[in-house]
Structure 1
Amino acid sequence: MRTRTGHAARLVLGITVALALMAWIAPAPRASAGEEARASITIYKAFCPVGYEGDDYFKDCYKNEGVGITFELTPVAGGEAESKITDANGFTFFDNLPAGTYALSETIPGDFNEFVVRCTRPSDGANIPFTRNDTDGIDLTLAVTDDIRCDWYNIGVDQGAPTPTVVPESGSLTIYKSTCPVGYEDEDYFADCYENATANVTFTLSVEGGGTVGTSKTDANGFAFFENLDGAYVVEEDVPGEFAAAAAYCTEDGDPVEFGFDGDNSRFRIDVDATQDIRCDYYNIPFNLRGETPTVAPTVAPPAPTTAPSATTVPVVTLPNTGANPASAGDDRGALWLAGMLVCAAGVLGTVALRRRPAR
């Protein structure tokens, strides 16, 4: 009787230990896509000239980005307000927002008390309705998966103060960085690659035949910026070797600007004088480390897009996995779970074998 009781106790103990081990190493449950879905609002801030009466805000006002302007977002149903400040390119961003109605307003000097707002959903181009509220802002409603962009223009009003419109005293170069799909071999970069904005990529600007002007890292919206320019420059990107193939196009006021890549497409030369504000859209084409290397990008600028590049909100991405990295840690966890199952089975079989051993 004692022998059978001892065998039963060892059997229960073995199963308990194995189950505990399996529970500890089993893959953790992942949140469903619905639980992770949250809305976002990207704001681009720009100034129109004092007394502006036109209606082509993109052409006449878009380049005058508003830097250091505070926007506040408040849930209309009640909740804590959140404040953000526009960056060096005029952008700010609110994310991880639950569905609901929000009040959006800005802090702006009195000489800019007129404003025009246009909100769209870039994924399908739909206009997003909103209403003006009594706090010199707007109220708009977000669905749970909405990613909205609002272009917010202020129109200067002459109230006797010095005109606040900023007039460039020197040239500038804005770079928008995007990454094409791995192995991309087409040439329609705007249609196929533009929405893949890439953050945290460093560009270096040097005087042609001279020293380095400085470096600029792309922000959360994929932009890097250089100012106080007047002369011939070389632009070089700091990017891993598997992303060496590149293409670009440069414009000013929508008109193409000439530039030239060097022999291996790792850098390009461009002239920027004190009256110019030039923008270059720069595309990386990753090598496919799992197979053939795609065709190297052309060394001339591709055709300018038919739509204004800056008018589309883009999701932020990082450089993709081209096959050089190992599999994710999730695979190891699954292997440990299988090993736990085998340990459990071995424990049970061993205990049964001990139980069936003939008495001496």
Structure 2
Amino acid sequence: MKHQYRHQAAISSSSRHGRIARIGGALLLTLMSLLTTLSIVAPVAAQEQEGEGTAQVTINTFTCPDGTDTIDPVDSLLASCVTPANDHTFTWVNAEGTLATLSPQNGQVRIDDIEEGSYILYSDVPLDDAVEVASCTADGGNRYTRVFDDNGVTAFDPITREQIVCDWFVIPVRDETSALMDLTGSLQPEPATQSGINAPAGLSGSLSLQSTDQAQVTINLALCPAGTDESSSFDELDAACANTVDGVVFTWGDATGTIETITSAGAAPIVFDEIEEGTYTLYSDVPLEFASETLFCVADGGNRYQKEFNDNGVTTFGGIIREQIVCDWFITPFDLQGEDGPTPTPTASGLAGDPVVTPTPDLAAPDLTVTPATGGDARATETGGSLVVHLALCPMDYSGDQLFETCHGVGVSDQPFVLTGPDGETEQITTVPQTPGPGIVQFMSLPAGDYMLAGGPPGDFGSVKLYCSTQPDGDRIDAVLDSTRATFTIGDGEDILCDWYYIPENQGGQTPTPSPTVTPEPVDRAEILVTLYQCVTGTSVAGASYADLQDACNDTRDGVPFTLGDVGAPPLTANTGASGAGAVRFFELLPADYTLRPTLPGGLSSVAVYCQLNEGDPYQKTLSDGATTFVNVDGDAIACDWYALKSNLAPDPAPAGPDGSITVRERLCGEDASAITDWERECDAGSSGATFTLASTDGAMTRNATTNAEGIAVFSDLSDGFYTLNQEEGMWCKARAERVDSQSRVIVDGGQNTDVFLYQCTDVTQLPSTGSGPGIGPMNDDGWWQSLSAVRLALMAGGVVGVVMLLRWCVTPRGFAS
């Protein structure tokens, strides 16, 4: 199951009476300007009935009961909001003005015979009295959440021939004073089934990333009956786990160590606030051999998602910026008299019940205190051997023989230890669970074999004394020490305890303090950061490089929705500006292929996207129907600059001549096509030396060009129309372009530039002269023939209709947040 953050597409609840009056006058002129777009070849969604030539929008309206939460999932809203909203009117508008004002009949409004174009829709619901949430499907595809502006207006831009069905929920709100009081109350877990994690409806629309400069994490703790299935859904656990818990210690930290600990007290929430940007860890002191923990969270009023724990019971909040995160933390004791949990073993698992260890006369072995490197206890019953290391600091230049008595109580935290053995390399960081006491790390489930242990403070400033013994009998084992590296053998199922005593050396009168090595908790999930830049009218994008766009397009644009989606997971939508100027960040992403798409206002069109993977070199992404796709995203940090060109909304003077263009961008791959999985990242810009011929389909124009050293060739001053592109020597192995028809002809429309990406898999001079390679398909063309239905294939014979069908095959309306 995939879980991601998501913004709520709901209207802010600030006072905005009289919306219809405000739509008139200057606001209407603004909306008309926003709906004026460049003429482009737009995609057409798959039709339910062949030959249907216009679009249709059906609105099912519902009034929700008081107290309904705007962040509830659609299924919950459909279950609770059953009253038709017949007492409101809906207004349908395009750039020419109001087209229709409709009242629901039996809770439904239907707008028929919609011609291709851009439209807006709004209701007469007073925005200070209610919040509106709309969830839609297009042509029977995936459900997505529509985005409203601050005036409660949602844009359908553009519509072609989609059949759109929306569930439109009107959710009453309370005044903000009572809502604020209820928010405080909602954070107290109630004895029945309420988790208390959801903000009241009256505030949910106004909560945003910009509302605070620092993040906050709130934990609502609940105890479940013994034997409760820990894999149950949130609703099941929320209903079953009604008991409060006292005395559970939660530890919040980062790579430098513990930042804060809070002990639970009844129903009071555990709140970690004033959190700066960074990556953090959180764990409790619940013994993991006796209970399991399950964690569900909501970020900034978005969708609920489940967080994961590592083997030590630690969960990571990766890359926190300014999020307001509220979590339900469920503790489920194992039914130790049944078969639901592991059987406790006599091995030590905490400060209590440690086995007795007989000390030797000199280097006495201490009581075994097994505590995970980042807190908590060993999860369940471990198999194989184990190694526990106690790191202790001795006085400077200590030469006595009472190491245990003198040094063992002075622990050192935040020191890395790396264990290398048959299973490879594992790293842990020391923590000091109690004072006095040593810094502790443990390595579990170790196969028998030879091991090397390295770590602790550096050997440049001191020396190490080492004592290792088997447990629980305390027999000393042979361990060879070289500076701060030790080698030894662990037998099958053998438990080893090593006392690692660090003795600082006097460095010319200065006593060095060992500096902890910062080793952050591994972050398994990916993030995608996108920043939208607006290019001014008249910027030349034909043949433009990344540096050209950086110089020409400096203005960021806030408030533009970006949607991230992948197959089988809910879409996520957020507005630029949520993560900085013009930026929005999608994070906690599980491995998948992701498609990113903006909903640009009228007058803006996407022209180029450049990305960096894990701070590597920038590379250009291809665009398809205004979207780009990331393949095999797995723990990556992706940062993208998205460039959009602003058109001139004022009437243009009659052009002196054609001003369209086609830019050929060659990519040299150096691999056979079958070995390439990510064409954009695995192929570099460059020239094959081949000559390309562009010809208009009416035969009026034929031109030849060779790409430059950067692999770019521009055919400029082109009239709107269809063009064929051929490679004179050899063939390309893959081609992508945003605007093509079903015959692989490149389209120039509205005087715009069309980028064509040609991928060369081998040296073209070694290939036979067979003309062009495979047909130029859409940007995301892998397997597109198999995905087309018989109806779509039949429609593709129809020229431009075929173009838009071809471009539309993989596009499903989506929505997401950061």
TM-score (norm 2): 0.18
For the pair shown, the structure with the greater C-alpha radius of gyration is: 2
TM-score (norm 1): 0.38
